[in-house]
Structure 1
Amino acid sequence: MSGAPQMQRLDAREAGFDAALDRLLDRLPARDEEVRLIVADIIADVRAQGDQALVEHTRRLDRLPCDDGAVPEIGRAELLAALERIPPALRQALEAARDRVREHALQQGLVGFEHSDTHGNRMGVRISPLDRAGIYVPGGRAAYPSSVLMNAVPARAAGVAEVIMCVPTPDGVRNDTVLAAAALAEVDRVFAIGGAQAVAAMAYGTETVPAVDKIVGPGNAFVAEAKRQVFGRVGIDSVAGPSEVCIIADGTVPPEWIVWDLFAQAEHDEEAQSILVAPDADYLDAVAAAIPAALAESGRAEIVATALSARGALIQVRDLAQAVAVSNHIAPEHLELAVADPDALLDGIRHAGAIFLGAHTPEALGDYCAGPNHVLPTSRAARYASPLGTYEFQKRSSIIACSPEGAAQLAPIAGTIADAEGLDAHARSARLREQR
């Protein structure tokens, strides 16, 4: 590294702050037309040729020979073998994380209900799980067993009958930790395919890969674009952007802790965003001063430095109330309340994917083992979206049962509205129920 990153300094008390903040947050990349066209061609290819297209794209993009012409599938025996090969301490950590995620997920499910009116009509909502869910897990440069757990465990908690997983294995390298996590999360089938072709296979089905009802999980630009294009044919969790954290600090947490919390997001990739909001200028200075020494210890220093320089910010505010207002505008994926009394601020937080309370609750614990899901809305989507949860793998059906008396009471209401809409069959259908 040559020099420490220069994080942008903003002051919420100054004119022009809102515009400056919006420029900092304007990080939704323009939709790449070349990526869109490439993905559209791959999807069309998989739809038309099925397994043959999957094999050809896997040979070309992941450098797998697939000499037998079959879509590479990783069997249950290999998943269990990987579970036996990983170090015992890692297995215990994955099991503990799985159990905590599952315990939290089991508290989340949607609940059906029924109610009746005075005419004997019954209305309600029935909850049922998806038949089959598909999980995409990135492969190649990094391994993410936590993504396996965070996506598969809630699906199982929801009662999904079958969970399949696609994970690329460039050059044939299969990551034992990812496969072990799939075994622990009770994934039914695992395919060693990735990219847009994997998303297309899960959306439309091939001779080998079954079509799913919903696709979840992160991926690169091609995976994100593929999810966007197949949405409607299947459900998706989101088209996610880079990871982000906003930290509100009152100066009671050691600056070094805050630096590493900022790094924990910045090390994901060069587009990640780390923002610190505090009323005390001296505290912001202290955090900035602690960055170079921490960077020298970071195993991903280049990525961290690039992310902090390009997307990071240190924001001074008038007080903690203004800090909350700034955070609500940011609507961050992760929000740390690194203050002495985080509960005093909690009621004011309206928009955040996950909220971490107090000095001893770093976002990193949420990424792996706290329990709540780490799949969260990004790019200000926390204004309207929620974390991935058990409810994402369930659906609601409305239940309506009319008694003869109730139908007779509702029929003239429906008939009158149908007349206004010019739908005479609707009106006739309803009014026939007046003839008890």
Structure 2
Amino acid sequence: MTRTTEPAEPLSAEPLSSTTLLRFATAGSVDDGKSTLVGRLLHDSKSVLADQLEAVERASASRGQDAPDLALLTDGLRAEREQGITIDVAYRYFATPRRRFILADTPGHVQYTRNMVTGASTAELTVILVDARNGVVEQTRRHAAIAALLRVPHVVLAVNKMDLVEYRESVFAAIAEEFTAYAGELGIPEVTAIPISALAGDNVVEPSAHMDWYGGPTVLEHLETVPVSHDLAHCHARLPVQYVIRPQTAEHPDYRGYAGQIAAGSFRVGDPVTVLPSGRTTRLAGIDLLGEPVDVAWTPQSVTLLLEDDIDVSRGDLIVPSADAPATTQDVEATVCHVADQPLGLGQRVLLKHGTRTVKAIVKEIPSRLALDDLSLHPHPGQLAANDIGRVRIRTAEPLPADEYADSRRTGSFILIDPHDGTTLTAGMVGASLTARPAPQASDEDGWDF
């Protein structure tokens, strides 16, 4: 007997409730105050346990500080505390009466930009901090470009340390105007700019008494009210096969199931499905969820799919509805953010990991690199250095069923890996593009643009 379960939340944008979840990330340059902002959010929203606060107070006192250093709530690594910078992505979970949150506090140092890519890859909102004294700098532009590439739906510009510029409206307005114009050129449709002082708590959780000229929301108020859409639920259904399950028990001697997490969409018993890259077709004979049969399952549930026909399916294959199966290709065209210290060069042999599938590949061409200062294109750079954003053409040894990144962030993304030591080299987005203009006195003969 099967049972039909209904989603705990509607598969579309919904009114705010205690069950809504927002995933967001912070980004910005070194010393812009990201960790302090996160600590202030946790502290002022009463999401810090007493023993955690006591530990921070003791650590702050040992460093000669009179007040608790709220940045220590996220900078948990010893190296981070000693150097006063964020190195690793710190994930924090907290809730208010209006919404639940998963927060990724990402590093600001250029050397650790790769971790910003990791933290923002699943985010629905990115908070980009700017020091009011310094304004928009190169790392600010880089983080904005990454947010645009990753298709993060909402971007917040938090102009921090307003207390150090005497809370002047003119300083905030100039920074907000410059950043908004730059974001518009990147294709970011809307930016919410908020003047704050994370150290003093101005406009973080409570409105500031020092900036009566600002009438917008606080950071927390915006996080609680920004619309959250469950885009993956409306994408084409995709299940990357992670395990083939054959229990070999007396009760189920012929059981053969294909387990994995549904990357997008939903599956229903009886649906015609196709297994890629082989292209074999069959129907769903059953769906097991937590050991129980169900009629329908949706993202992000982890399930086991049972097929009517005995066909060859293995780890790395992709099960999709036959009506909207993606095309398979061995020529991948993508925008990438190179995250490794060693450059990515023409003819370099790599491993490409897409979903649960890893294949051999070679970098056939690097048509262009994006200059962050003026968003110009530099054609045929020959290689991509650490933190560069560029276009690549990759030839894979086996066909890949890849969606466009604009259609699905999960099945339209991949990473390139060094086959010798397993180092992650590059984060890629199939077909993703940025608005850009040609470099001065140069043209891209191949017609590749962002």
Q: What TM-score do you get using the length of structure 2 for normalisation?
A: 0.29
Alignment TM-score, normalising by the size of structure 1: 0.30
Higher RCO (CA < 8 A, seq sep 6+)? 1
Give the strand-richer structure, 1 or 2.
Answer: 2
More helix by share: 1
